[in-house]
Amino acid sequence: MKDYSSKAVHVGIPRGHAEPLGIPIYPAAAYQFDELDIAADEFQQNSGYSYIRMQNMTNKALEERLSSLEGADATVVMASGQAATMAAFLSTCKAGDHIVASSAVFGGTAGLLNNVLPNLGITSTIVDNNPEAARAAMRENTRLLWVETVSNPNGDVADLKGWADLAHEHGALFCVDNTLAGVGYLCRPFEHGADMIMHSLTKWAGGHGSALAGCIMVKHGSNIDNIPVLQDLKAQYGDQALSRKVRSIGVHQLGMTLSPFNAFMIAQGLETLELRMLKECDNALQIARFLKDHPRVKSVNYSGLETSPFHALGQKYLKNGFGAVMSFEVEDPQRFFASLKMIRMVANLGDTRTLCIHPWTTTHGRLTEAGKQAAGVTPYLIRMTVGVESLQDIIADLEGAL
């Protein structure tokens, strides 16, 4: 199987007589050993099945499916996107190390960088969303660069190759939060130099908005000579040290393991990701054009519009569409939300339903005014994640609310 659509529905499902045609849910907390040597080896290597926190058959099937869709060598699923982000930070940095991140990152990511990591002695610099701004922030102890392929709320597209080159020039690693690009469907950051990819699987991977999950993906072969926290595992595992570290920190030690029930839910969602994204991207482009021409809309942010400052980067890095997220400014957000009939006010992304939110007072409400400005959030801004409903119904609802 070469193609996305085939892998999405086949990888992870066992083959053979009387095997189930689906991914079974294994809730068992532990696995049996039949020989003492095997048990001892398992506890030394932590490579197979012993206890649910370490590995689980449902989670493993999901990891295989995710790796095949994103072109990863290893995937570690975790209980949430936040858990995965924290595991990525702690797998590459220790006290005294430094991270450079784009200002166009998810609020929870900024929260970890600003409020949690400093207590562990890990510092960070948040810069404008371009590699030149990042270059000025690089230090000798910078170990990790972090961006989002497509950012929220404004759908800015990152210059992935530029960030990757900068990281590698300095012996640092480059991690991309690829959530808004939908598990390798719109963009495959490993092809542009990423060393690690993070996903909130709660969003497009699931699609149903009914299961919390996240993952870190790794491509083996990254240069990790300059990453102190990886040196012990490098001696033992060579270029698999990074993926080993992510699994060790994320699930073995911190226990941020994904529930097998949620793993099943995400695996089901992946089977229709392509179909959902196709419709959502198609809807989104038509809606962005409708909003751009609407007299009551002050501005629209969507890289699919030729007038967008991110159009060229979108064309370079995004295939199959420009994504399902956009933002726009209205005259009176209060009245806009009060007048919506079908579209719901919800903070999630990547749902099958079209959802709108007011970032100024909700998702970005805790930021300072300067922080909101840096994230491109104004009091008039509406963020929208476009769903799979009919284009006519979505536009009629927006028209009425405007």
Tell me which residues touch ligand PLP (CB under 6 A).
80-82, 106, 108, 148, 152, 177, 179-180, 200, 202-203, 212, 214, 349
CB of 118 to ligand PLP, least distance (A): 20
- Structure tokens belonging to residue 139: 């230090």
Chain residue at closest Cβ approach to ligand PLP: 81
Phi and psi at residue 261, in whole multiples of 5°?
A: -65, -45
Smaller CB distance to ligand PLP: residue 22 or 371?
371
Q: Are 193 and 174 a contacting pair, CB within 8 Å?
A: yes
CB of 192 to ligand PLP, least distance (A): 18
CB burial of residue 130 (10 Å; 0-12, 13-18, 19+): middle
Distance separating the N- and C-terminal Cα atoms of the chain: 47
Distances (CA, A) of 326 to 284, 294, 395: 8, 15, 14
Q: Is 299 left (phi over 0), alpha (psi -120 to 50) or beta?
A: beta
Q: For ligand PLP, which is the closer residue by CB, 233 or 377?
A: 377
By C-beta, is 58 or 202 nearer to ligand PLP?
A: 202
What is the spatial distance between Cα 144 and Cα 126, in angstroms, rounded to a whole number? 12
Q: Between 86 and 288, whose beta carbon lies closer to ligand PLP?
A: 86
User: Shortest approach of ligand PLP to residue 233 CB, angstroms?
Assistant: 26
Q: Which is nearer to ligand PLP, 88 or 138 (CB)?
A: 88
Q: How far is the CB of 24 from ligand PLP (least distance, A)?
A: 24
Q: Is 175 helix (H, G, I), strand (E, B) or coil?
A: strand
Q: How far is the CB of 81 from ligand PLP (least distance, A)?
A: 2
| Comparison of 50 and 200: residue with beta carbon closer to ligand PLP | 200
Query: In the complex with ligand PLP, which residue's Cβ is closer, 91 or 152?
Result: 152
- Say if strands 214-218 and 297-301 run parallel, antiparallel, or are unpaired: unpaired
Please give the structure tokens belonging to residue 136.
Answer: 């000025």
Query: Cα–Cα–Cα angle for 383, 386, 392, nearest 5°?
Result: 120
Dist. CA 286–CA 378, nearest whole Å = 24
- Closest CB 108 distance from ligand PLP, rounded Å: 5
Secondary structure letter of residue 361 according to DSSP: T
Nearest distance from C-beta of residue 249 to ligand PLP, angstroms: 17
Q: How many helices (H) and strands (E) does the chain have?
A: 15, 12
Angle at 284 between CA 347 and CA 265, to 5 degrees: 50
* 124 or 200: CB nearest ligand PLP: 200
Residue 179: CB minimum distance to ligand PLP, A: 4
Torsion sign (Cα): 243, 179, 310, 390: positive
Gap between the Cα atoms of 352 and 207, Å rounded? 6
